[in-house]
Amino acid sequence: MDLLALRLIVPSVDACYAALSAVHALWVPLDAEYDDYIAKPKPNGYQSLHTVVRGPRGVPIEIQIRTQAMHDHAEQGIAAHWAYKEAGTQGYKGASPASDYDANIALPGQLLTLHGELVGQGAPRRPTAPAPDEASPFDDRIYVLTPQARIVELASGSTPVDFAYALHTELGHHCRGARVEGVLVPLNTPLRNGQTVEIVAAKQGGPSRDWLNPELGFLRTQRARAKVRAWFNAQHLEQTLANGRAQVEKLLQREGKTGLSLQELAGGLGFRSAEQLFERVGSDALSLRQIEAHLRGQDPAAGMDAELGMPLKAAKTQQSGGVLVVGVDALLTQLAKCCKPAPPDSIRGFITRGRGVSVHRADCPNARNLALQHAERVIPVTWGQPGETAYPVDLFVEAADRQGLLRDISEVFSKEKINVIGVQTQSRGDAAHMLFTVELRGLEKLQHALNMLREVKGVRKAARR
């Protein structure tokens, strides 16, 4: 058991071995207790000379011999090496931070310097470039700092907006500017390793739709992009719910049913909550005529009958185009306006009162609702043989509002030789929402037309409604 221990700090590696020689000359070393961790460092980088000698009266003395840099490494970890190196001729203990912020940021900055050296950014380049399979696993990551010296890991190429969302979702939503190393920069500026970033946030407001435009480069990470989309989806849902609630309350007032509980009304129509009812009404997935029929004690499907249109000629077994009702000949069919089915959509029929069979797309919300409430009135239908019949199809386009937008979109329809029979447009802030009703003999051209629309400058979404 050691009774005494001594540590010698010397200026250089050569001095370490010179001191060891002097110690062994003064006292008798114990050969089994000698370790040279300078020649063979420990896995964690620790370096020192260890020896045990018999001192006065035979008392064992453990002696450690090392340089100042080795000592700092042993006492404070790997970052101390960079702190010592940066202290220069003043020595590690002689280097003092200029401010409290410098003191806070010192260790994170050293760690980032270490990271840079590990990936080859801060160390001398090797004579030859590494092979592709030798690429560093850190190459796709960067590490930046908050003003409080917190390290934030981001994907390479991330912007101040990505940084804000990485800290907190609300900070990202309210982000209006950024300072990098104390200098205001555009929000689409790519960040680099070791930079200190400060976000300038507003008390109110939300993200800009421009952030979702990949051509503008505001967002690099999928996480931030998903949070921006979620914010706009929540805003749209909020508007939809408010619109649906207003329509339902107005209908109740007109029908003299203002005392009726909205939750009770929703339950009577097969919904779990009033919010679900408002969402369906606000998105035009449920007709007010159906609610009106329910309030009057009628079959809600009767309200649907009035919403159907575009009667086709009676379907025959050998009909060219149109819809065939399985097992029934010469039965009047009509396409539902709510979903506008077209070949080769999967379809289902619903027997109306006095207007034949209404044909819906299989994924139509109204069709699903009717099937749940009146399963006995659902009937199998299929498309007839291909013919010259043109079918109306609704296409929804969302884009950044700008001059010439409608003209550019119309040029796409013209090039694709698609006839447009109806257009509805609405602007909300800097966003334009457009609904085009076009005529198609089949859906073969549809996907190509949607792809062309998505390539129009400023278009964020193009889809069939």
pTM: 0.44
How many CB atoms are closer than 10 A to CB 329? 12
Averaged pLDDT score across all residues of the chain: 77
Q: What is the pLDDT of residue 123?
A: 42
136 — pLDDT class (breaks 50, 70, 90): very low
Query: What residues contact residue 184 under an 8 Å CB cut-off, 6+ apart?
Result: 177, 178, 200
Q: What is the pLDDT of residue 193?
A: 86
| Cis peptide bond N-terminal to 344, omega within 30 | yes
Distance CA 29, CA 23 (A): 8
76 — pLDDT class (breaks 50, 70, 90): low
- What element of type H or E holds 242? helix 222-254
Encoding tokens for residue 183? 């200098």
In angstroms, the first-to-last Cα distance of the chain is 83
Phi, psi of 177 (to 5 degrees): -170, 175
SS3 395: strand
Q: What is the pLDDT of residue 320?
A: 38
Q: State which amino acid sits at residue 157.
A: G
Q: What is the pLDDT of residues 327-365, one digit of tens each?
A: 455 456 788 888 888 887 888 888 876 667 888 888 888
Distance CA 342, CA 310 (A): 13
Percent of the chain with pLDDT strictly greater than 70: 76
In order of start, what are the domains of the chain with their CATH numbers? Answer: 4-79 (3.30.460.10), 139-220 (3.10.20.30), 229-283 (no CATH), 305-383 (no CATH), 391-464 (3.30.70.260)
